[in-house]
Homo-oligomer: A and B are copies of this chain.
Amino acid sequence: MIYGVNLYNFNVNIESFLSKRARIIDRELKKFINNIDFGQPKLIEAMLYSINAGGKRIRPVLATAAYEIFKPDFRRILPAACSLEMIHTYSLIHDDLPAMDDDNFRRGIPTNHKVYGEGLAVLAGDALLTNAFNVLAMNSKVKGIKPGNVLKAVEILSAKAGAGGMAGGQAADLEAEGYPLEKRFSSAGKLLNYIHLHKTADLIQAGVQIGAVLADAPEKDCRILSNAGRMMGLAFQIVDDVLDVTADKKKLGKSGSDARNKKLTYVSMYGIEKSLKKAEELLDRTRKELSLLKRPASKVKVIEEIAGYICRRDR
């Protein structure tokens, strides 16, 4: 593991935990999308195509793990967990469009617009985004979940995915494409941080925040988890920048389009070694932040291990 971040000792448990939970989330996701009333069949098919393309379901798993720090039975927040993955999937579909990153492959299969055409791909993304809020709102019907907390979750998800969150990060990313090298050392560092924080970290952060909020966790604990989510999300994106350069297409399941699109990335700005050092620092800070939680160590450890896992070079 040359380029890997190896701050934590790994055991197989976290991988089996992740894949087991991902399977549960997968099942729910398909159920929610297949059960959409009056859904136009071709549109539902396009939505399911990208949902079924797989992925580690990191955001929903993080939400359930954060919930479990405070309450048992993570199944009570499966709707909320799924809404996070629907938002994530929509962002990938739109991100791959010719007008954006123009990617032909994602997770080893053709991107949505390559199969369904650009028009339907735009709509499939729109629908996943919109229906995510429907699925999330439905969580209020689950026993033991306070409607007021679901409303808070709607606030968090919409803020973290909107113009001040992920969409803002994507817009900055788009604007920064081809950012001239000579300009990079004036305000490019700030721009790069904005992009990473919002493009990726915001939705990771939203995952742990929503898990904690739905568990009715104390304000202070919500804040700790929110901070931890932000830092692990940033670390995750930095490692992703590195992977875009170092991983082969087969492993990543997509073509490394950053260099082709002249993206402003951690690697293009600081190089691989320094980027990985930064990611390690962030993971360390994540662990320190999580240690502030006065909660059962075994439960907190799960979040820590997920953070470590998503920053692995061979994830």
Contact = CB atoms under 8 A, between A and B. Distances in A.
Interface in A186-241: 194, 198
A147 interface: yes
Interface stretch (A61-69, A164-172, A281-289, A305-313): A164-172
Contact of A169 (B40, B165, B174, B175): B40
A82 to B, nearest CB: 13
A164 to B, nearest CB: 4
Copies of this chain, how many? 2
A130 B131 contact: no
Contact of A167 (B126, B140, B157, B165): B126
Contacts of A161: 130
Interface residues of A, number: 60
Contacts of A42: 171, 175
B122 A165 contact: no
Interface of A: 33, 36-40, 42-44, 47, 90, 94, 97-100, 117-123, 125-127, 129-134, 136-138, 140, 147-148, 150-151, 154-155, 157-159, 161-165, 167-172, 174-175, 194, 198
5 contacts: A40-B171, A130-B163, A131-B162, A134-B154, A138-B155
